[in-house]
Structure formats: C-alpha cells, structure tokens
C-alpha cells in the first residue's frame, strides 16, 4: 500500500497540466434522523426537517497556471437532483482572499449552489459542506472555464485517508418537550467535545497543526478503535499506524489534498 501510494504521489507531483481544475467529493454524512414523534418538529435555519445530510466538495486548481477571474465563462456550480440545499458551509481554504470571497459571494438556490469567479493560483483550493434534507446521491458539477476542456471530478470516497468534515453544533430547535430538547442538545454537545478532544490529542501525538489534525484525526482514532477490538498484536499495529501517519504528514507537508 505504501509503495503504491508513493508512486502515485510522485507521479502526480511531477506531472501537471498547464491549466486544470479538479472537484473532489467525499462520503455523505447523515447528521440527523428524526424518529421521535409526529408531534415533534425540528428546525434547521427556520425550516422544518426530518433528516439532515452533509456532503463535502473541494474545488482545487490542480494545474500549473492560475485560473483568473476573467477565465470563467460560467460560474462553477453544484446541482443536486430531487433535493433541497439548506446551507453551504466553508470548511477550509488556502488563503484569506478565498475565504472572504466564498463566504460573501456564494449563492444558494433550492437545489443549486454557485461559487464566485475568483483567482485560484496553482494548488489553491476551498472545501464546502453542502447541507441537504435528503441523501444527495445524484449531483452534477457545472461550469465553463477558458482553457479547460472539462472540470475533473475525483470521487475520494475510497481515499486512503478521508477528510473529516467540519463538526459543528447545529442550531436545532425542538418545539415540544424540554426532555427532548435536553437529550438532543447533550448528544450534540458530547459529540462535539469528543471530536475536539481527539483533534487536540492528535496534535499532541504527531506535533502537527490543527488543519492537519482535522484532516486525519477521525481516520486515526477509528483505526485505533478497530485495532483495540480486533487485533492480536495491539502494540505492534499501533506503532505501524503511527509510523504510517507520520510518513504521510511528512510527504505531503501537511498541505496536500487527499487523493484516491
């Protein structure tokens, strides 16, 4: 696995097209499933929902040359069929310029989110979480950029490491019953606190920055849980996992986006 990954990494590092955009997609996460009662209503941003799903997309300049704002013939958009887009959250980004423009100028329609025509230098990127009321199984990436025949789509669900999406405590309002409100709030709070503790612990173990810990901590601790439950040689497998993670961090310099 390590040898194959190394070949893939150096091959992709040495060869880049002059102009190229790639959209990476990641696993769908189910955030809420309301089976409490027909009399219980849960609101997300003032809309009644029974289910909440999150799907992440990373838009990255994978070419050698920059993509200039004047290069866009049509905005890059994400369309999700038979669904309602409730929100689009900026999870990570390469610089403050990208952060400001994406936050201020991204438009959200009923089933379509479009991004502003911004400057993306080589290796610049931004990652978005799309929040929907149904499972976003079917989606399309649209957009036309001068000098790019087709925007690449890279499904990273089988990546060796998966980006952990931003875990935020959502504004959930339950209209009936204090015990229900308390139970939901506690569940969300405990999940958030556990996630933060794991990020901090990962940073202490691997001496890395918070962004890298956000990327890899979920994968690492899931593997640790699996090893402790199923392994016959726990200490050895833990050491091998740590060695593998450290090697990945060094090779990518904490700045590479995860590829399949």
Domain locations in the chain as residue ranges:
17-172, 177-252
Q: Where are the beta strands (DSSP E) in 46-191?
A: 47-49, 51-61, 72-80, 85-93, 107-108, 112-114, 125-132, 139-145, 152-155, 172-174
Which pLDDT value is given to residue 2? Answer: 42
Q: Which pLDDT tens digits describe the chain residue by residue (260 residues)?
A: 444 444 444 444 456 788 999 999 888 888 776 555 555 566 666 677 777 888 899 999 999 999 999 999 999 999 998 888 888 889 899 999 999 999 999 999 888 999 999 999 999 999 999 988 888 888 899 999 999 999 998 886 533 333 333 344 344 444 444 444 455 555 666 667 777 888 888 888 888 777 777 777 888 888 888 888 888 888 888 888 888 888 877 766 544 444 43
Which pLDDT value is given to residue 218? Answer: 81
Q: How many helices (H) and strands (E) does the chain have?
A: 5, 13
Which pLDDT value is given to residue 233? Answer: 87
Which pLDDT value is given to residue 160? Answer: 34
Please tell me the distance from the alpha carbon of residue 86 to that of residue 45, in angstroms, as a whole number.
Answer: 8
- List, in sequence order, the alpha helices (H) in 56-177: 96-105
- Residue 10 neighbours by CB distance under 10 Å: 11
Q: Which two tokens stand for residue 14?
A: 């040495």
Which pLDDT value is given to residue 183? Answer: 53
Please tell me the distance from the alpha carbon of residue 115 to that of residue 104, in angstroms, as a whole number.
Answer: 10
- Residue 124 neighbours by CB distance under 10 Å: 19
Which H or E run includes 237? Answer: helix 234-252
CB-side neighbour CA atoms (13 Å) of 44: 20
Displacement of CA 160 from its chain's centroid (Å): 15
Which pLDDT value is given to residue 154? Answer: 87
Q: Report which of 113, 104, 117 is spatially closest to residue 67, judged by C-alpha positions.
A: 117
* pTM, entire model: 0.55
Displacement of CA 89 from its chain's centroid (Å): 10
| CATH no. of 17-172 | 2.60.40
């Amino acid at each position: 696995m390590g040898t194959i990954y190394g070949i893939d990494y150096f091959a992709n590092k040495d060869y880049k097209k002059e102009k190229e955009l790639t959209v990476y997609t990641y696993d769908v996460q189910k955030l809420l499933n309301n089976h409490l009662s027909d009399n219980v209503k849960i609101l997300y941003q003032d809309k009644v929902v029974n289910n909440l799903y999150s799907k992440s997309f990373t838009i990255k300049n994978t070419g050698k040359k920059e993509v200039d704002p004047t290069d866009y013939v049509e905005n890059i958009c994400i369309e999700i069929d038979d669904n309602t887009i409730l929100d689009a959250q900026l999870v990570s980004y390469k610089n403050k310029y990208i952060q400001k423009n994406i936050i201020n100028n991204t438009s959200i329609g009923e089933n379509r989110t479009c991004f502003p025509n911004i400057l993306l230098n080589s290796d610049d990127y931004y990652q978005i979480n799309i929040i929907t009321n149904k499972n976003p199984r079917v989606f399309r990436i649209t957009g036309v950029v001068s000098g790019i025949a087709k925007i690449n789509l890279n499904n990273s669900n089988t990546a060796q490491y998966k980006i952990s999406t931003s875990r935020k405590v959502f504004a959930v309002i339950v209209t009936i019953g204090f015990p229900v409100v308390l139970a939901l709030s506690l569940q969300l709070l405990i999940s958030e606190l556990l996630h933060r503790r794991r990020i901090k612990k990962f940073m202490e173990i691997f001496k890395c920055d918070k962004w890298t810990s956000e990327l890899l901590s979920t994968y690492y601790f899931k593997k640790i849980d699996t090893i402790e439950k199923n392994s016959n040689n726990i200490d050895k497998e833990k050491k091998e996992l740590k060695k593998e993670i450290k090697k990945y961090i060094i090779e990518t310099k904490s700045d590479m986006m995860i590829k399949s």
